[in-house]
Amino acid sequence: MKKHLYILLAATLMASATFADNPLPERDATQPDPNFHIYLCFGQSNMEGNAAIEEIDKTGVDDRFQVMSMCDGDRDINRVPGEWYTAIPPLCRANTGLTPVDYFGRTLVEYLPNIHRIGVIVVAMGGSGIDAFDKENYKNYYATTDDWQRSLMDLYDGNPYAKMVTMAKKAQKDGVIKGILLHQGESNNTQGDWPMKVRKIYEDLIHDLNLDGDEVPLFAGETLRQEEGGVCYGHNDIIARLPDMMNAYVVSSEGCAGANDGLHFTAAGYRELGKHYAMSVLKNVYRMLPGMPERPAERLTLEETDMEIQIGTGKELNLTADFGDGYIENIASIASYELSNPEVARVSNGRVIGLAQGETDVKATYTDPTGQTLTATFTLRATYFPFSEEFIHTDLFGEGIYDEATRSFSPGQYGQMGWVYSSGIDMSDYKYLVLKLDKPQNVNASINIYPESNIWTPNHSHPIEPNTTTIAIPLQEITYTSGDDLKGQPMDVSHVSIISLWAGAEGIIDVADMYLTNNDDYSSETTSISSVSTITVEEDEAIYNLQGIRMPDTDNLPRGIYIRGGKKFVIR
């Protein structure tokens, strides 16, 4: 309590002090301070700050939380562009409102050791589309947008990206950039190409500021939720794709109160959203989980010991530490991971992403607050076509039905269902896409391949003959079968976003397996499990786990992969 009282008093007394007025412990002033951590923040009105700043927001700001002035208009509030100031709102620029960045920084300095300072650079404009922040596309955006949008861009010399980079380079002389915060999307609501545009901006920033993308993540905030009256809540499904495409995290807007317009947050909502950003940064940058008890963990538990993932799509791990007394924490993001076959997948900050067809054993290691080390192991299979229900999109068109136990697809007449790859997959190294059916289909089915993440874009449609159970598509030879300008042209399969099964009539497509291969006999290059069935184990049939340990109780095997008679089988 004394700490918080001291911060409140100090911030009140020095509310108008600049960074220069508040010297920190002596250091080499010619070198960046490694403990001054800088965050770049950009977006549209919710990052700019739409709610009125209240009296509570003007007091209690720790001078360890600094903001760099961006615009000449800030001279109206006695700030000089390019200089650091105690982060008393407004943070974006003069005459803007409360932003999530306000309570993002306040929360960080509350939890981080006193030696750390936080600096923010905020470049945001109400109503701006994502192209306004692109280092190339901003020109066309500026030329074609409304006058009021141009006037906002003019505050940043007509080029918001360049302004952000220029000021960030200046800031790098003082400290170290640790992350990038984004809140944008209302002006690009549900646009499927938005994640790719965000990735380009992120990668440009990483390159132009000479940063390490593995060390400097992007934190993207959700739009206002539906339950709070949000009208762009559908864009949250688009935002959710970002972690599969780059070093990014989605910041939840759950519980953040919305304004009556359905687009913005209230002041209370911004305060809460800012804390959500901070908690994500504490967890994923600083490896801190506020509130964790200072006692040994009793055990680690994995939700899945046999995991199937889709290449090109990530999946959050649920690795929990039980500290006793009912306190259980998901520590997946702060554990370390060792893979027996790192070409198959990678695990980063508690998220596993499939890289290539295959299987790997994964060892998770966690050191608890007392220094005790605990481990857990699981098996991971990566495939382009996982058959777990969670990966099958039944509503690409129509309301399809999927039965995981039998792998039966029922798209409905003219319906489509299948796999979606949020970051795209590269199939150009393979000769064939092979579909194996349990029995011939009678629904006039086809396999559709889409380079774009929209089924209304040009595609290749490959009919499934009625009397066959093996369908092999020669990937190096396929052409577009739709699209006025592209029809008949070769299709580049180095970036595929959707692969679906289409039906021209009601009925079922019974799938045995689906895979990519270079084998001219259309056989799979990897061992796949085409079906799962109940087995009866004789007394003299030994069963081993993947670590080579014989299983004593063969009647009640937990979920996982096992070996019997030299062959693998799965218990689900």
Domain boundary among 284, 319, 340: 284
**Is residue 102 a part of any domain in this protein?**
yes
Q: Would you place residue 552 in the very low, low, confident or very high pLDDT band (cuts 50, 70, 90)?
A: low
Assign residue 111 a region (left: φ > 0; alpha: ψ between -120 and 50; beta: otherwise). Answer: alpha
Confidence of residue 19 (pLDDT cuts 50, 70, 90): very low
Q: Is the peptide bond before 490 cis (omega within 30 degrees of 0)?
A: no
- Mean pLDDT estimate for the chain: 89
Residue with tokens 């760099």: 68
pLDDT single digits (tens) 426-446 = 999 999 999 999 999 999 999
* Mean pLDDT lowest among 6-20, 92-106, 329-343, 472-486: 6-20
Domain assignment present for residue 294? The answer is no
Q: Which residue matches tokens 């913005």?
A: 264
**Residues 424 and 552 grouped into a single domain:** no
Residue 526: the pLDDT is 63
- Average pLDDT, stretch 173-197? 96
515-529 pLDDT, tens digit per residue, is 999 999 999 986 444
Q: Is 526 domain-assigned?
A: no
Q: How confident is the model at residue 555 (pLDDT cuts 50, 70, 90)?
A: low
The pLDDT assigned to 440 comes to 96
Lowest mean pLDDT among 48-52, 329-333, 505-509: 329-333
Question: Are 509 and 568 in the same domain?
Answer: no
Using CA atoms of 221, 227, 230, 232 in order, give the dihedral in degrees to the nearest 10.
70
* 546 is a domain residue: yes
Catalytic residues: 45, 261, 264
Is the pLDDT at 572 greater than 50, yes or no?
no
pLDDT of residue 535 exceeding 60, the answer is no
pLDDT single digits (tens) 442-488: 999 999 999 998 899 999 999 999 999 999 999 999 999 999 999 99
Q: What is the pLDDT of residue 409?
A: 98
Structural domain range at position 93: 2-284
Same domain, 250 and 108: yes
pLDDT at 531 over 60: no
| 524 part of a folded domain | no
CB atoms within 10 A of CB 173: 11
What pLDDT does residue 244 have? 84
User: Is the pLDDT assigned to residue 18 strictly greater than 50?
Assistant: no
Is the separation of the CB atoms in 115 and 34 below 8 Å?
A: no
Residue 256 shares a structural domain with residue 358:
no
Please indicate, yes or no, whether residues 179 and 236 belong to a single structural domain of this protein. Answer: yes
**52 and 177 together in one domain:** yes
Q: In a 3-state reduction of DSSP, which class is residue 432?
A: strand
How many angstroms separate the CA atoms of 181 and 202, rounded?
10
* Same domain as 230, residue 334: no
Domain holding 378: CATH number? 2.60.40.1080
Number of domains in the chain: 4
Q: Are residues 338 and 461 in the same domain?
A: no
* Residue 527 included in any domain: no
Query: What pLDDT score was predicted for residue 561?
Result: 55
Q: What is the DSSP letter of 163?
A: H
Contact 381, 359 (CB under 8 A): yes
Per residue in 224-240, pLDDT (tens digit) is 999 999 999 999 999 99
Give the model's pLDDT for residue 546.
45
Separation CA 102–CA 413 (nearest Å):
52
In this structure, of 79-88, 140-149, 512-521, 534-543, the range with the lowest mean pLDDT score is 534-543
Confidence of residue 564 (pLDDT cuts 50, 70, 90): low
For 107-145, what is each residue's pLDDT tens digit? 999 999 999 999 999 999 999 999 999 999 999 999 999
Enumerate residues 6+ apart whose C-beta is below 8 A from 215.
none
Say if residue 330 is in the same domain as residue 479: no
Of 361, 383, 405, the residue that ends a domain is 383
Q: Are residues 425 and 448 in the same domain?
A: yes
Among 127-141, 349-363, 523-537, where is mean pLDDT lowest? 523-537
What three-state secondary structure class fits 509?
strand
Q: Which of 284, 310, 337 is the last residue of a domain?
A: 284
Residue 465 in any domain: the answer is: yes
Q: Are 460 and 476 in contact (CB under 8 A)?
A: no
One domain, residues 207 and 339: no
Rounded to two decimals, what is the model's pTM? Answer: 0.77
- State whether residue 251 is helix, strand or coil: strand
**CATH number assigned to the domain comprising residue 133:** 3.40.50.1110
Helix 100-111, helix 267-284: angle, nearest 10: 40
Q: State the CATH number of the domain containing residue 409.
A: 2.60.120.430
Tokens encoding 439: 């029995």
Amino acid at 20: A
Has residue 7 got a pLDDT over 50?
Answer: no
DSSP 232: -
Are residues 482 and 555 both part of a single domain?
no
The verdict on residue 224 lying in a domain is yes
Beta strands of 125-273 (E only): which ranges?
176-183, 218-221, 248-251
- Are residues 451 and 418 in contact, defined by beta-carbon separation less than 8 angstroms? no
Q: What are the pLDDT digits (tens) for 370-419?
A: 999 999 999 999 999 999 999 999 999 999 999 999 999 999 999 999 99
Identify which has the larger pLDDT, 13 or 374: 374
Phi, psi of 230 (to 5 degrees): -65, 140
Q: Quick: pLDDT tens for 194-217.
A: 999 999 999 999 999 999 998 999
